[in-house]
């Protein structure tokens, strides 16, 4: 046991936190970072200038608390999402993780249960633990898909208070049909389950893949969460949001910290939304590289999962860690998500994608698979 760990264990730490390590992917200094699904294109110049101007205006009032209701931001987010949503349907936080935490604080807690279907976003159990919510898991098919019948049966059996449905799913990139969402919502009727559809990568859906935003009318227990970290290239700004019935946002006001969104955060997000078209143009470029990765991995004899996200999850590997290390030696960092025989790579710019594929070919040719 290290000295630092010994000092930590001397503290009156909660028993369920003892022995745990902090969440986080490796942060290494390499030329090509394709491991945490960031938007590697960065912000267009016109958007950078707009954000700087907006923040400069906000700085003049930093001696005052920010708008507690982040009114302008909610108006812009409602306009961006469409689907007849109004500001009363919108909630936001410091990244979608804080939004999910608010949901667990309001509808979870001691004596209550949250459920999801691994492999999926690894923060769900951590957020549940942090709010004293019991976390239970369902199962997917061997190809990581989830059918309406299977999902509904498992929800009826577990009767959770909250269900997380990640679509496109992280780490697999696979999208859920709206039939799955509807089946889970109906199955949760008896237990009054809050159903959270996590669409963090929703802007990267293939054309024709529907959003659960379509299902919000008449479903007061349904929540659709999004983020500005991915499509809007604002991972460093920490802005997440959700759409739901107005009574859900009222519930979250009961648990949020006062003035939880800073004036700088609000100004940054509002300016970015004003230039959504310029930012979403990069989304189309990313989707091209994602589909290129899927096609070329198939040609190389690997097994990429169908992806509606800005990353590709692929299998058919005998020693994924050796392949991960071989890519890292060439300055390309991808993600080992801990699923045997698989790795995950973010779809970056055209040069970044080309560098990844070129090095991958070299490693496969050398017998590293």
Q: Which of 5-9, 140-144, 186-190, 358-362 has the lowest mean pLDDT?
A: 5-9
Query: Does residue 91 have a cis bond before it (omega within 30 degrees)?
Result: no
pLDDT at 25 over 80: no
Confidence of residue 22 (pLDDT cuts 50, 70, 90): confident
DSSP secondary structure letter of residue 202:
G
Q: What CATH number was assigned to the domain covering residues 45-275?
A: 3.40.640.10
Average pLDDT over residues 271-281: 96
The pLDDT score that the predictor gives to residue 21 is 81
**Could you give the percent of the chain with pLDDT greater than 90?**
92
Report yes or no: 263 and 58 within 8 Å, Cβ to Cβ: yes
The pLDDT score that the predictor gives to residue 23 is 80
Q: Which CATH number fits domain 3-44+278-365: 3.40.50.740, 1.10.260.40, 3.90.1150.10, 3.30.565.10?
A: 3.90.1150.10
- pLDDT tens-digit profile of 78-120? 999 999 999 999 999 999 999 999 999 999 999 999 999 999 9
- pLDDT tens-digit profile of 157-214? 999 999 999 999 999 999 999 999 999 999 999 999 999 999 999 999 999 999 999 9
Pairwise CA distance, residues 30 & 193, whole Å: 44
Find the helix or strand (DSSP H, E) in which 353 lies.
Answer: helix 350-365
Confidence of residue 1 (pLDDT cuts 50, 70, 90): low
Average pLDDT over residues 345-362: 98
pLDDT at 16 over 90: no
Nearest CA to 348 out of 66, 31, 72, 13 is that of 31
What mean pLDDT, rounded, does the chain reach?
Answer: 96
- pLDDT tens-digit profile of 205-253? 999 999 999 999 999 999 999 999 999 999 999 999 999 999 999 999 9
Find the helix or strand (DSSP H, E) in which 315 lies.
Answer: strand 311-315
Report yes or no: 97 and 122 within 8 Å, Cβ to Cβ: no
Sorted by where each begins, the domain ranges of the chain are 3-44+278-365, 45-275
pLDDT at 150 over 80: yes
Which DSSP string do the residues of 11-43 spell out, in sequence order?
S---GGGTT-----------SEE-SS---TT--
């Amino acid at each position: 046991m290290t000295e630092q760990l010994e000092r930590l264990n001397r503290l009156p730490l909660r028993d369920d936190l003892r022995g745990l390590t902090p969440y986080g992917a490796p942060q290494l200094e390499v030329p090509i970072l394709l491991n945490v699904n960031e938007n590697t294109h960065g912000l267009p110049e016109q958007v950078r200038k707009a954000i700087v101007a907006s923040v400069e205006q906000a700085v003049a009032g930093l001696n005052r608390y920010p708008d507690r209701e982040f009114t302008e931001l909610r108006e812009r987010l409602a306009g961006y999402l469409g689907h007849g949503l109004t500001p009363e349907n919108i909630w936001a936080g410091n990244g979608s993780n804080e939004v999910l935490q608010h949901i667990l604080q309001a509808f979870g807690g001691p004596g209550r249960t949250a459920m999801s279907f691994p492999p999926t976003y690894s923060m769900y159990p951590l957020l549940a633990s942090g709010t004293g919510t019991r976390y239970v898991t369902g199962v997917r098919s061997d190809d990581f898909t989830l059918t309406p019948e299977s999902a509904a049966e498992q929800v009826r059996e577990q009767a959770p208070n909250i269900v997380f449905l990640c679509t496109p799913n992280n780490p697999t990139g696979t999208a859920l049909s709206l039939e799955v969402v509807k089946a889970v919502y109906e199955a949760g009727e008896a237990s009054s389950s809050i159903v959270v559809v996590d669409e963090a990568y929703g802007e990267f859906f293939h054309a024709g893949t529907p959003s659960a935003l379509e299902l919000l009318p008449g479903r007061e227990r349904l929540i659709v969460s999004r983020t500005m970290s991915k499509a809007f290239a604002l991972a460093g700004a920490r802005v997440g949001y959700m759409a739901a019935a107005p009574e859900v946002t009222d519930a979250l006001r009961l648990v949020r910290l006062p003035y939880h969104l800073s004036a700088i955060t609000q100004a940054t997000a509002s300016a970015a939304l004003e230039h959504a078209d310029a930012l979403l143009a990069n989304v189309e470029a990313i989707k091209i590289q994602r589909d290129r990765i899927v096609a070329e991995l198939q040609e190389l004899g690997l097994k990429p999962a169908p992806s509606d996200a800005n990353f590709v999850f692929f299998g058919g590997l005998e020693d994924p860690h050796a392949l991960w290390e071989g890519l890292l030696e060439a300055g390309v960092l991808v993600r080992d998500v801990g699923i045997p025989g698989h790795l995950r790579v973010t779809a970056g710019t055209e040069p970044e994608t080309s560098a990844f594929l070129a090095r991958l070919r070299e490693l496969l040719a050398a017998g590293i698979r």
